[in-house]
Structure 1
Amino acid sequence: MPRLDHTPQMSRRRLLGASALAASGMFSLPLARAAEGWQPATLPQGQQRDIDSASTGQRYRIYVNIPSTPAPAGGHPVLYALDGNATFPALALMARSTASRSATTGRTAPVIVGIGYPSGQDFGGGRARDYTPPGGKDTPAGEGGADRFLDFIERELKPLVATLAPLDPARQALFGHSYGGLCTLHALFTRPGMFQTYLAASPSIWYGERVILTELEGFAKRVAALPAKPALMLSAGELEAFRARGAAPKARAAIAAERRMVGEAEDLATKLTASGSLARVEYHLLAKENHGTAMFPAMARGMEFFVG
């Protein structure tokens, strides 16, 4: 019987083992060095500072992105974004992309102003205090401060941003998601001349027994007194609509059914369209998006709605 020679196979095993040992020794020192020298990431054209507000008594972290392209004759358009810690990076990238293609598309990139909190949390800080309207039934202590927050934007933040670049006072927008979307609607209904474009993503219309809907009373008259009607984009994620899902907790299912995130946004868009109070109303149901993920396509649609 011929003898089976295992020498080549054993040699390969020894070679692989030796290579592994050599590699472990070879890379251990560079890997240790690779842990050194890291710094916080920065955004191109991005800048930030913390400011204290006389209107609210709170501190905010303000992020600003100014286009590299020359300002139009009337100044740059401006998009103010709530939850700035989370929304500013994506919106700044969209603005830079718009600027890079402006010669081809003819679209003007906006200045992006993210309004966040020094906590550094994506959705932390005092958003429940700042984004909720007053007058809601059983409003928790420390909430319902949207009017003071809007005073801060109008009286303190806007003049500050105007010192950084020439701005177009007739092309300014406000974006907000969830509680931020609620605040955006509150600004539209009570101060329709504060911005020309309002972008409300997955707004928490349910808050305070739907107190936001009571602000529609007198809204048409407030708009009629303006030199031009504002525009509104509403959006919601398809998966925010309540559906009975097997073993879903009953309490959670009851909350989702009561809040009617999609239904309330659709109903409001239909009502405002029929009223003719606004220059333009768009509603987007964002396919396969839930409450958390809907923010991202809503920002993209909102940018298109504003600059397009």
Structure 2
Amino acid sequence: MWLEEIIPSFQTVFPQTRYFEIDSEVAGNRFSASVTVPAGYDQQNSESFPIVYQIDANLYFPSTAPFHLATHGDVMSTLRPFILVSIGYSQEESHKWDWLRVRDLVPPGDVVPEIFYQTLDGSVQTGLISQDQSDVYRAMFSKPAGDKYLSFLENELHPLLAQTFRIDQNDVGLWGFSYGGLFTSYVALKGSSIFKKIGAGSPGIVGKDSYISKLYEEAIASKIDFSGRGLHVTLGARELADLSPYQWLTARGTSELLAQTSLQPLPGLQVSSEIIPLETHLTGGIPAWFSFLRACYSKSN
């Protein structure tokens, strides 16, 4: 008797998921898309399903996809069946997703905080990355490309998936956490014609000088009708209450965004929010995901 170490196939671990990679012409980068269909998808050949895009697949897909089938049968919090699309980076670049996401998720016109550059310097000093790599990342940080990433989602990835899967084009969601939440806040205020239900978990909106605040004022002035669109915002309670950098990296900006939605509501935009007890920025991602699903994809909605 002995332990035999093997590498299981992707389908063994994620039986309801198909994995794709796509080269984006508009962004100039290669991305991955893990598509997990709901239970009964293959048996219901004529039914179309809502689709939810999840940012940061390299972090959240392994933690959420296994629950995708089970949550639809949760008698205490039943969700509508939907297609989950977890968007990440290619196998070749998956090891540096945490740096690449800064390039792709920060809106143009926003500024990457100095703490990120300090983290780069620390990573060089500890040998985690080389100086040459650090220089590449610094160049990325100086030219955030959230607009290109949004164009990739709307004009390249979504049309391809719509050709492959049975998608309800009137029920398309988007969720992100941290810088993913900053990106989804940006998408919500841009008044995307595709994404109608948007979740912003602990968005990295840094202070009143954030581009998000300016974009909100522009949305008010534009008099865009946001009817049919929803924004669900979450924040970990300890991000707000405990002394840490996250009080100004996420909690302050999130609070200011919610204050704006209350003082100057955007016409037709349905806003909901939740302070998640006990969670920090590190532990809050998964609870924020399920909070978004309960708020936007519950059968009771």
Structure number with bigger Rg = 1
Give CA deviations for 1:149-197 in whole Å, capped at 9, x if unaligned.
Answer: 0000011100111122211111111100111000001111123323111
Q: How does 1:1-308 map to 2 (within 5 A)?
A: 30-31=1-2, 34-40=3-9, 42-70=13-41, 75-100=48-73, 107-118=79-90, 119-121=93-95, 123-124=97-98, 126-137=100-111, 141-143=139-141, 144-206=144-206, 209-220=209-220, 224-225=224-225, 228-241=227-240, 243-244=242-243, 253=244, 255-259=245-249, 261-277=250-266, 278-308=268-298
Residue 160 and residue 222 in structure 1: after superposition, are their counterparts in 2 closer, same or farther (change >3 A)?
Answer: farther
Offset at residue 68 of structure 1 (A):
3.0
Q: Which consecutive residues of structure 1, in runs of 5 or more, have no partner in the other structure?
A: 1-29, 245-252
Q: Distance in 2 between matches of 1:224 and 1:233?
A: 19
Alignment coverage as a number of residue pairs: 265
Q: Distance in 2 between matches of 1:224 and 1:57?
A: 31
Offset at residue 273 of structure 1 (A):
3.4
Residue 232 and residue 43 in structure 1: after superposition, are their counterparts in 2 closer, same or farther (change >3 A)?
Answer: same
Q: Which consecutive residues of structure 2, in runs of 5 or more, have no partner in the other structure?
A: 114-137
Give CA deviations for 1:265-307 in whole Å, capped at 9, x if unaligned.
Answer: 1232232134332442111111111001110100111111221
Offset at residue 216 of structure 1 (A):
0.8
Offset at residue 223 of structure 1 (A):
6.6
1:93 maps to a residue whose letter is P
Q: 3-state DSSP class of the match of 2:251?
A: helix
Q: What fraction of aligned residue pairs are identical, expressed as a percent?
A: 24
> What is the RMSD of the two structures over their aligned residues, measured on CA atoms?
2.8
TM-score when scaled to structure 1? Answer: 0.76
Q: Distance in 2 between matches of 1:76 and 1:69?
A: 11
2:18 maps to a residue whose letter is Q
TM-score when scaled to structure 2? Answer: 0.78
Out of 39-48 and 149-158, give the one that drifted further: 39-48
- Asked if the contact 1:88/1:112 (under 8 Å) is kept, the reply is no
With a CA cutoff of 8 Å and minimum separation of 6, indicate the structure with the bigger relative contact order: 2
Give CA deviations for 1:13-45 in whole Å, capped at 9, x if unaligned.
Answer: xxxxxxxxxxxxxxxxx22xx234342552120
1:131 maps to a residue whose letter is L
